[in-house]
Amino acid sequence: MAEKTLDTLFHDTLKDIYYAERKILKSLPKMARAAQSPELKAALEKHKDQTEGQIERLQQVFELIGKPARGKTCDAIEGILAEGEEIMDEYKDNPALDAGLLAAAQAVEHYEITRYGTLKRWALVLGMKEAAALLDETLQEEAQTDEDLTGIADAAVNAAAMKTAA
């Protein structure tokens, strides 16, 4: 059995987030279609475009470490996305739907922020400055998306969720 090192952990975690990003990319259009708020719909569509770029950056990081861009099943993102699906099913046509979608989207963002922050730190420790810069670019986008989603929640979505269903 090969020795487990920080390099190995970095690669395993990179495969984890690569898998996660590809799953997220498939989920975002469905979430955007389900959203009732035009602002939330637009934010989810914008994040879909960003996610495509984030996947490309991950592919660059794989290239930098001389490994093929392959994912490894990420149980955490599977669970978070399943919760989002459940919200879409249980709150369809309900004023609270957007609040639930927004919460699910932020759970995804927080997971991504954690992964990218960790990967960036490890890349720096491992002397991979170019990889760290790519990972930081995505980390900044994820943090901005989270902030944008909070703004949408505060501006309208949470208040709209208080209304009773028709």
Question: Cβ neighbours of residue 66 under 8 Å, at least 6 residues apart?
Answer: none
Answer whether 0.85 is exceeded by the pTM. Answer: yes
- 18 pLDDT band (50/70/90 cuts)? very high
In the predicted structure, residue 2 carries a pLDDT above the cut 80: no
Q: Is the pLDDT of residue 158 over 90?
A: no
Beta strands in the chain (DSSP E): none
Task: Compute the half-sphere exposure of residue 62: CA atoms within 13 Å on the CB side of its CA.
Answer: 19
Express each pLDDT in 67-102 by its tens digit.
999 999 999 999 999 999 999 999 998 889 999 999
Average pLDDT over residues 142-153: 95
pLDDT surpassing 70 at residue 166: no
pLDDT at residue 164 in the model:
61
Q: Indicate the helix (H) or strand (E) that contains 24.
A: helix 6-34
